[in-house]
Chain A
Amino acid sequence: MFPQSTVLDPLFWMLLGAIQVLLFAGVNQWAKEHQLGMNWWKWALAGGWWFSFVLTIAGAFTLLGENEGNAGWYFLGFAGTLLVIAGAGLLKVLLVLRDKSQQLA
């Protein structure tokens, strides 16, 4: 990431890790506000989706960095689009389940 420095690299990744904690804490709060009733499998799906999303971006930019321009853009476009669709599907499932549980209550 920072080829001229030995300190900035670990600092950068530690900062990114800290942002992940903030992100999940924010998502937890948002899910509570929208009464999504998150349980273990819903968290597993949401976490899995986020992990795949991050991996796709990392993979695509690694390819771009290795001068594999076409492969990088195709990977980002193909896997990224599938993930966006999967994300929209996951959100729909979460909202539908919330509505159903509210109707039962």
Chain B
Amino acid sequence: MKKKQRKQSKQRFEKLASVGSILLLILAWYLGGLRIADSQNGLLNDLLADGNSLQAISAGLYQGHSKSDTQASEWIGIGSGIGYGGPMEVALTVSHQGEIKRVAVLSSKDTSSYLEKVVQGKLLDKLLGQNIKTSIYVDAISGATLSSNALLQATNAAADPVRKQLFGFTLTEPASVILNFRWLDIVALLMFALAVWVSKTRHPKKSAFNWALLLTSMGLFGFYSASLFSSSTMGIFASGAWISGLGNYTPLILLLLSAGYIIAYNKNIYCQSLCPFGAAQECLAKIGNAKATTFKHDFFIWFPRVILLAALCFGGYFRNPASFSYEPFGIMFGMVGSLYLFVLTVLVVITSLLIRRPWCRSLCPINAMTDFLKFNKNWAKQISKQRQKSRSERAPEGTIIATQASATNRSEAL
């Protein structure tokens, strides 16, 4: 009896946590929207020369003029480009002659380490002094190509409204989202289909097939492209930034396929056969003869859930999910990330020699996502069952009689 009561109260708490987490995400998103409007206005004012005031002319075009003189002394254009995590917004201050005087990144959804590389590579400085009469181009910073390209694309887009105003022509055309799809996205689809087949097959070499998939995935989605999905991909999906274009769709495709399969079949195919970090941990476990251990304490169930929720909320509030990604994937497969993440990666890698898949069993956000999807699916099922039950209980006797009568009439007619 006590056990049943405890189970019921646990379920009630989990239901509350599930609804509460969704509400918290919505609240973070809403508050982030208020914050971004304030900060963008502040940044635009900072771009102006001292004493000048700002006046909106059209969408993406502002005029800066001194308080005494109504004639425009400089122009500000705003444009966006497609980065790794979604759109990147850039503002330019342009002189009457079309020379770029100042550049500012208004918002970015790229991982901050990549953006730092772009700034340290002085890509923004190289833009200064260029004339917008021709298309703006500078060499991308190696190791941050997607962020560099997004910045260039945004700069050209920001220059366009000013070009139109000053010289009467534009140079950029809106790029199609489809152009952002790459061959790796098709490979992700194929690999997922293979993973489904491997999970269902009864072939005697099933384990070998799974190993082959894991190793291929580690090579392709890990060391080659570092496009495994993480909490930031979940944030990008939740934010809807992917609709206007992404620099890399592969993590999102893997996320959607995995989540869809979990909802449909209650099975996590990704972790089992595709996760590159899981594959790396499995390899290390083979080297060190690591033992499989399960962490049964509630802390290991709830801690990753709380961390994931916090990362998604902060990502939503600051409109940059990639900045709050806490997984060691970036360091492991691309040596990109903070020193803290580096220490975490080293710890996970060394622990993998002794314990099988320590990251997956402790902090991985994919487990938290799987639990969330499964719990809500079961909850929805429970509700629909209860509704069906109450409907059949509520149905008046007359209805049953009527149906019985109509059935006899039908059989008589036949």
Asked whether A and B interact, the reply is yes
A65 to chain B, nearest CB (A): 18
Binary interface profile of A, 59-83, with partner B (CB < 8 Å = 1, else 0)? 0000000000010011001001100
A85 touching B287, Cβ below 8 Å: yes
B289 at the interface (CB under 8 A from A): yes
How would you classify the secondary structure of chain B's contact residues: helix, strand, loop or mixed?
Answer: helix
B349 touching A81, Cβ below 8 Å: yes
B287 to chain A, nearest CB (A): 5
Interface range, B side:
10 to 19
A92 touching B287, Cβ below 8 Å: yes
Knowing A92-B287, A92-B289 touch, does A85 contact B339 (C-beta < 8 A)?
no
A88 touching B343, Cβ below 8 Å: no
Interface range, A side:
10 to 19
B339 touching A70, Cβ below 8 Å: yes
A85 touching B342, Cβ below 8 Å: no
Q: Which B residues are CB-close (under 8 A) to A84? A: 350, 353
Q: Which A residues are CB-close (under 8 A) to B288? A: 88, 92
Q: Which A residues are CB-close (under 8 A) to B349? A: 81, 85
B115 to chain A, nearest CB (A): 18
Knowing A81-B350, A84-B350, A84-B353 touch, does A89 contact B287 (C-beta < 8 A)?
yes
B116 to chain A, nearest CB (A): 13
B259 at the interface (CB under 8 A from A): no
Q: Which A residues are CB-close (under 8 A) to B343? A: 73, 77
A85 touching B284, Cβ below 8 Å: yes
A73 touching B339, Cβ below 8 Å: yes
B346 touching A85, Cβ below 8 Å: no
A15 to chain B, nearest CB (A): 29
* B316-362 contacts to A (CB < 8 Å): 339, 342-343, 345-346, 349-350, 353
B339 touching A81, Cβ below 8 Å: no
A81 touching B289, Cβ below 8 Å: no
A74 touching B342, Cβ below 8 Å: yes
With beta carbons under 8 angstroms apart, the residue of A70, A80, A81, A88 that contacts B287 is A88
B158 to chain A, nearest CB (A): 34
- In the complex, the chain A residue whose C-beta lies closest to that of B335 is A78
A96 to chain B, nearest CB (A): 10
Q: Which B residues are CB-close (under 8 A) to A74? A: 339, 342
- In the complex, the chain A residue whose C-beta lies closest to that of B286 is A92
Q: Which A residues are CB-close (under 8 A) to B345? A: 77
* B283-307 contacts to A (CB < 8 Å): 284, 287-289
Q: Which A residues are CB-close (under 8 A) to B346? A: 77, 80-81
A73 touching B353, Cβ below 8 Å: no
Q: Which B residues are CB-close (under 8 A) to A92? A: 287-289
- In the complex, the chain B residue whose C-beta lies closest to that of A70 is B339
Q: Which B residues are CB-close (under 8 A) to A70? A: 339
Q: Which B residues are CB-close (under 8 A) to A80? A: 346
Q: Which B residues are CB-close (under 8 A) to A81? A: 346, 349-350
A43 to chain B, nearest CB (A): 21
Q: Which B residues are CB-close (under 8 A) to A85? A: 284, 287, 349, 353
A73 touching B342, Cβ below 8 Å: yes
Q: Which B residues are CB-close (under 8 A) to A73? A: 339, 342-343
Q: Which A residues are CB-close (under 8 A) to B350? A: 81, 84
Knowing A77-B346, A81-B346 touch, does A88 contact B339 (C-beta < 8 A)?
no
**Most A-side CB within 10 Å, residue of B289, B345, B353:** B353
A83 to chain B, nearest CB (A): 11
- In the complex, the chain B residue whose C-beta lies closest to that of A69 is B339
A88 touching B353, Cβ below 8 Å: yes
B347 to chain A, nearest CB (A): 9
Q: Which B residues are CB-close (under 8 A) to A88? A: 284, 287-288, 353
Q: Which A residues are CB-close (under 8 A) to B339? A: 70, 73-74
Give the CA-CA distance A85 to B280 in the complex, in Å: 12
A59 to chain B, nearest CB (A): 16
Q: What 7 pairs between A and B have smallest CB-CB spacing?
A: A77-B346, A88-B288, A88-B353, A88-B287, A81-B346, A89-B287, A81-B349
Q: Sample 24 A-B pairs with CB under 8 A, ordered by A number.
A: A70-B339, A73-B339, A73-B342, A74-B339, A74-B342, A77-B342, A77-B345, A77-B346, A80-B346, A81-B346, A81-B349, A81-B350, A84-B350, A84-B353, A85-B284, A85-B287, A85-B349, A85-B353, A88-B287, A88-B288, A88-B353, A89-B287, A92-B287, A92-B288
Contacts beyond the supplied A73-B342, A84-B350, A88-B284: 6 A-B pairs with Cβ under 8 Å:
A77-B345, A85-B284, A85-B349, A88-B287, A88-B288, A88-B353
